[in-house]
Amino acid sequence: MVTVVAFWVWLRVRVCDLRSQDGEAGDVPGWVMVTVMTAGLVVALFAVFRGAIIGAVQDAISNVVSGTRG
Contact predicate 12/36, CB 8 Å: yes
Total tally of structural domains belonging to the chain: 1
Q: For the whole model, what pTM was predicted?
A: 0.47
- CA dist 42 and 68 (Å) reads 30
| Residue 23 domain flag | no
- CA dist 63 and 35 (Å) reads 33
| Residue 47 domain flag | yes
| DSSP annotation of 24 | P
- CA dist 4 and 40 (Å) reads 10
| Residue 35 domain flag | yes
pLDDT tens readout for residues 36-59 = 899 999 999 999 999 999 999 999
What residues make up the domain containing 39? 2-17+28-66
Mean pLDDT of 18-39: 71
Q: What is the pLDDT of residue 46?
A: 92
| Residue 22 domain flag | no
